[in-house]
Amino acid sequence: MPRRQGYALLIALVAGTAALAAAVAFAGSLLFSGPRATAAASTAPQGVARTPAAPAHSSGNWLATWAAAPVVGVSDPDQARDQSRRTIRNVVHTSVGGTQARVTLSNLFGTRPLLIDHVTVDTRPVTFGGAPSVTVAAGRQTVSDAVVVPVSADADLVVTLRTPTAEGPVTSHPNSHQTSYTEDERGTWSTTQWRYLTAVDVRGGAATATLVAFGDSLTAGTGSTTDANTRWPDTVADRLRGRYAVVNQGIGGNRLLREGIGPRALDRFERDVLGISGAKTVVIALGVNDIQAFPQETDAMRITGALRTLTERAHARGMKVIGATLMPYQGYATWTPAQDAVRERVNAEIRAGGVFDEVLDSDLALRDPDLPRRLRPAYDAGDHLHLNDAGYAHLGALVDTDALLRAKATTDAL
């Protein structure tokens, strides 16, 4: 189903589930406060894990049709309210289709066990080890059983969760550029955070490989139109037409070398790239926040050294690595000539080879030819750092999708 029909799907699903929500409200109130909820929450290990949540490795021909890198929720004022007794309707946009699905739920940033007592994918009930509810330990994640549900490529999918006893920090992905919904006894309201859901995998479709877009806000889509699915990984997925899965693991404000918004890229790469189901190719677009955000990195070789490390780790898993140069941002609030010199040194090292398998020269493609330290005005979202829809479309068009499909065909034939 085309992306432009996605909102219509959401309306239909919400309307279709209204009766179900009413029917389960009474039973749900018992679960929210009854002994089953208390017992389930008390059986999980206590404390915060010191290592990242274990990745959800692929099984058979599972592919990630959608994913979002987990971040502790900080930007939504609603996070300060009671998280219990909630129904969360995460609206996500698929890249490939299938006949079965499974979901990954994360409590990575939680400090207490998280009970989720009701999960559906487009109203189809989801189980965990055959049970309709699951408790996710603090600092961990869990993968559901397979559910038979038709999943279309390039379509909106609604994954509904209910959290009867949730407390503490919420593991989420803020600034999603997608409208989702949260419901409790006060009513229903919209949000642009995905909560607890970090991946949807499918199988039974035509695709056999996944591309992971790994980056910062320029990958996450800051500056793009909400609900239009115009981030550059969306453009790549559109061009691949359901033949190669694409997932977006961008986090706004993310850095290579230092903690910022979300774990630093060197620490999250195992979970957010290598742990993605069916991952065969990664596009790395990181480094500008290390240069422009405080404390600012002044050694270009530290940045390119970190990028090489990511490439080596991907190669150890048999993955191809495409890397992007750093786009200009003169006019942005933190820009200085000294920072720009660092960016140019990073780009020179990337173009010289030896950092990535292939180079995506986003700097050359999106800079103003008359003022090369600035973005081309037609692609500038207005802050001189982020792109608008046209800019993301142009960036997504740089990826050689024909080469991806040729390599996929060769691999499939072996």
Give bridge partners of residue 314 from the DSSP assignment. Answer: none
Helix (H, G, I), strand (E, B) or coil at 224: coil
Helix axes 35-42, 6-33, angle to 10 degrees: 100
pTM for the structure as a whole: 0.86
DSSP 237: H
Find the farthest-apart pair of alpha carbons in the chain and give their distance in angstroms, rounded: 69
Which residue has tokens 């700097």? 363
Compute the average pLDDT of residues 271-275: 98
pLDDT single digits (tens) 93-113: 999 999 999 999 999 999 999
Q: Across residues 386-394, what is the average pLDDT? A: 98
27 CB-near residues (< 8 Å, 6+ apart): none
Is the omega angle on the peptide bond into residue 369 within 30 degrees of 0, that is, cis?
no
Q: Does residue 384 or residue 184 have the better pLDDT?
A: 384
The pLDDT tens digits for 168-216 are 889 999 999 999 999 988 899 999 999 999 999 999 999 999 999 999 9
Span 368-388, average pLDDT: 98
Residue 260: the pLDDT is 84
- Rounded mean pLDDT, 289-309: 97
Residue 352 has pLDDT above 80, yes or no: yes
Beta bridge partners of 84: none
Mean pLDDT, residues 140-152? 98
For 203-222, the three-class secondary structure string (H helix, E strand, C coil) is ECCCCCCEEEEEECHHHHCC
Using alpha carbons, select from 265, 337, 361, 310 the residue that is nearest to residue 69: 265
pLDDT at 23: 39
Structure tokens at 14: 């919400």
Nearest to 289 by CA among 274, 272, 306: 306
- SS3 call for 92: strand
Helix orientation angle between 300-316 and 337-351, rounded to the nearest 10 degrees: 40
Least reliable range by pLDDT among 45-49, 224-228, 365-369, 397-401? 45-49
Whether residue 114 has pLDDT greater than 80:
yes
Cα three-residue angle 136-198-34, rounded to 5 degrees:
35
The per-residue pLDDT of the chain, averaged, comes to 87
List CB contacts of 150: < 8 A, sequence separation 6 or more. 97, 99
Lookup: tokens for 250: 């961008």
**pLDDT number for residue 406:** 93
* 151 touches 63 (CB < 8 A): no
Q: Is 81 helix (H, G, I), strand (E, B) or coil?
A: coil
Q: Tell me, what's the pLDDT at 13?
A: 46
